[in-house]
Amino acid sequence: MVSNQPGFLFATGIENSIPTIDGGRHRIDEMEKCGHYRYWRRDFDLVQDIGIRFLRYGPPLHTTLVGADRYDWSFADVVFPDLRRRGLVAIVDLCHFGLPDFLGNFQNPDFPAIFARYARAFALRYPWIQLYTPVNEMSISALFSALYGWWNEQMRSDQAFVTALKHLVQANLLAMRAILEVRPDALFVQSESTEYFHAMSPAAIGPAETMNARRFLSLDLNYGRRVDSTMYEYLLDNGITREEYHYFLNNNLKHHCIMGNDYYQTNEHLVAADGASTASGEIFGYAVITHQYYNRYRLPVMHTETNLCQGPCADEAVKWLRKEWANVLRVRNNGVPLVGFTWYSLTDQVDWDTSLREDNGHVNALGLADLDRKLRPVGIAYRDLIRDWTEVLPTQSVCLQVPLALDEDYPERGGSRPRRLPEPVAATAAPTNAE
């Protein structure tokens, strides 16, 4: 029988970004570039070979949602039952940086409602699935598409950014409600980039403070937390009405949520007096920044993305894995309910060295395995880490268990439906003495 106490959630992911570039005329499909459509069985084998149970994974939105209330389930109908047969638990990623052609981009006000109906249809079709990330990295989607001008609408204005963010968060909230109508014990992992902006000089303190307030906007709106006065004025000045703002305050579902924190070397920034920013590399690190987010939202945490390129010494990614894992243990030991860790992604990625702004076919050695599906040193190190820590963490944990109904998910493996659904994750957790 599969245990309904899964312990710590060791995870990886299949990179499924689908932004458009070149004015919306060209789509970057990472699942295609990385060979997943061809080698998906081998990819699932790799997940099992490494000893991973949880997989951040989603169907390609642009070929599955083919029109308003029109769906093509042909690929999903093959892969999701196979994951179930293997006993692998999907954290289903429904929208990852792009929209189908018929919806255009994140400026489209029709997107949230149509997406929510798609989420409900997905949940009805695959009722054994409990874990979801409806919209991945809402903040990055809005920043890269509507403020930096890199993807999708390729706009560069605060008003376009606020519009995109408003639609992305609303889509996430509506999708959560739609899924809960089908699966009342559904849990949502909000995978979001955790950022920090460092002032380079006293004159840069003002711009850095504004950016450090803006980094919280997507989660503030998603979790119904009141923003500070600067951000309130910023939202009103750039197109959000008072009624829309109160909609977000009154529609949070945080008691069903795990706060997913993504952290890379590029997540910290140096800010100049004119507001220009550049990557700083790791200064504070994952533990310090995660405490900032946890202290703001008081939710269970999962480290949902990290990676580093395997460099010329072939051990750079392994060293980064060890550093991130040390940060995870530090956060847990400080009393934060941190329930999982993810190396993202399973295989190498393609063209992330230009943030998917160019279609160069340049392979980025970021995966647990290369594109020939051979384990990299970091894949071996992650396999060993999981083996060594899986039995220790549940017994020495300071955090709550994630209430997964794994017996219900896999009845053919000897389980039976529980008499009552598990309680959702608590909205608050154990107090912490962290700063």
Summarize pLDDT for 179-196 with one digit per residue, the tens.
999 999 999 999 999 999
Residue whose pair of structure tokens reads 């312990």 in the numeric block:
7
CB within 8 Å of 51: residues ≥ 6 apart: 10, 383, 386, 387, 390
pLDDT at 88: 98
Q: Is it the case that residue 234 has pLDDT exceeding 70? A: yes
Is the residue at 431 inside a domain? no
As a whole number of angstroms, the distance between CA 427 and CA 149 comes to 36
How large is the C-alpha radius of gyration of the chain? 20
Is the residue at 421 inside a domain? no
**CA dihedral over 150, 151, 154, 157, signed as positive or negative:** negative
Residue whose pair of structure tokens reads 């409990």 in the numeric block:
130
Summarize pLDDT for 324-350 with one digit per residue, the tens.
999 999 999 999 999 999 999 999 999
Residue range(s) defining the domain that contains residue 403: 9-413
Please report which residue ranges of 260-315 form alpha helices under DSSP H. 286-297
Is the residue at 300 inside a domain? yes
Please give the single-letter amino acid code of residue 229. S
pLDDT at 77: 98
Q: Is it the case that residue 432 has pLDDT exceeding 70? A: no
Both tokens assigned to 94: 């429904």
Q: Is it the case that residue 40 has pLDDT exceeding 90? A: yes
Residue whose pair of structure tokens reads 């189908």 in the numeric block:
100
pLDDT at 307: 98
Average pLDDT over residues 14-42: 98
Is the residue at 30 inside a domain? yes
Split into its structural domains, the chain has a count of 1
Contact (CB, 8 A) for 276 and 208: no
- Comparing 423 with 381, which gets the higher pLDDT? 381
pLDDT at 404: 80
Summarize pLDDT for 375-398 with one digit per residue, the tens.
999 999 999 999 999 988 865 544
Upstream peptide bond of 3 is cis (omega within 30 degrees of 0): no
Average pLDDT over residues 273-295: 97
Percent of the chain with pLDDT over 90: 88
Specify the CATH number for the domain of residue 381.
Answer: 3.20.20.80
For residue 435, the SS3 value is: coil
* Bridge partner residues of 65 (DSSP): 71
For residue 248, the SS3 value is: helix
Is the residue at 137 inside a domain? yes
Alpha-carbon distances, residue 6 vs 10, 60, 267, 302, 375 (angstroms): 10, 28, 30, 14, 25
CB neighbourhood size of 300 (10 A): 25
Percent of the chain with pLDDT over 70: 90
Average pLDDT over residues 138-153: 98
pLDDT at 267: 97
Is the residue at 428 inside a domain? no
Is the residue at 432 inside a domain? no
* Bridge partner residues of 13 (DSSP): 56
Residues 133, 379, 44: CA angle, nearest 5 degrees: 55
Average pLDDT over residues 162-179: 98
Contact (CB, 8 A) for 342 and 13: yes
137: left (phi over 0), alpha (psi -120 to 50) or beta: left
State the DSSP H helix or E strand holding residue 360, giving kind and residue range, or none if neither.
none
Residue whose pair of structure tokens reads 């340049």 in the numeric block:
362
Contact (CB, 8 A) for 262 and 13: no
Q: What predicted TM-score, i.e. pTM, was given to this entire model? A: 0.92
Is the residue at 422 inside a domain? no
